[in-house]
Amino acid sequence: MSILLAFTPFIAFAAIDRLVGPIEGLVAGALTSLALLVRDWLSPGRTPKLLEVGTALLFGGMALYAVLGHPDWSIIAVRLRVDAGLLLIVLITLAIGRPFTQQYARERVPAAYWDSPSFLRTNMVITAVWASAFLVMVVADLVLIYMPDVHPRVGIIATILALVGAIKFTGWYPEQAKRPAPG
């Protein structure tokens, strides 16, 4: 799924953040985001997607601020900003009626279906599920910040469950949406 590739900047951020530090993680996320955008611009038949553009702006802006402004952010505070930024990007795509999953679905679904109400509704639902997963991650970050006695594993487990749930739902729901309503 190319939609999962769009999340590689977040994976790069998480890995480098854990191994080296949050500023380096932000830079890794920014560079990975830019690489995805360049790939889309240079590949025939591909166009940059809203999620990838938003991710590049998020990581690029945060990395620039972190390098130039030297904020006193904890690792979890950086994660909160990244997760909240991702949630905001996804919510904006819903608000403007262009759910981020729609651009990825168009790569797999024939053009004849792109303007159908069911195609848009399916993508709105799937994007809303992703937004819910990112909201779980934001809440987990907030819990870890404001309830320091909570073990960090709780945040990791919440994040993994939210993401796995969104991934599974994304694979499952399109076929369910095609089925006629009972009755």
**Confidence class for position 18, pLDDT limits 50, 70, 90:** confident
* Phi and psi, residue 42, nearest 5°: -90, -15
Is residue 97 over pLDDT 90?
Answer: yes
CA distance 26 to 57: 11
Instruction: Give the pair of three-digit tokens for residue 88.
Output: 């905001």
Predicted pLDDT at 70: 87
Task: Quick: pLDDT tens for 121-166.
Answer: 999 999 999 999 999 999 999 999 999 999 999 999 999 999 999 9
Which of 54, 51, 86, 81 is CA-nearest to residue 66? 81
- Total residues belonging to the chain: 183
Is residue 68 over pLDDT 60?
Answer: yes
Task: Quick: pLDDT tens for 83-94.
Answer: 999 999 999 999
Q: Which contiguous run of DSSP H or E holds residue 61?
A: helix 50-69
**Confidence class for position 15, pLDDT limits 50, 70, 90:** very high
Predicted pLDDT at 162: 96
CA distance 74 to 72: 7
CA distance 159 to 143: 12
More confident residue, 74 or 84: 84
Q: Are 9 and 36 in contact (CB under 8 A)?
A: yes
- The average confidence (pLDDT) of the chain is 93
**Confidence class for position 1, pLDDT limits 50, 70, 90:** low
Is residue 36 over pLDDT 60?
Answer: yes
Give alpha helix (H) positions in 70-151: 75-95, 100-105, 117-146
Residue with tokens 């380096």: 24
pTM: 0.89
Is residue 63 over pLDDT 80?
Answer: yes
Which of 63, 67, 106, 107 is CA-nearest to residue 82? 63
Predicted pLDDT at 181: 61
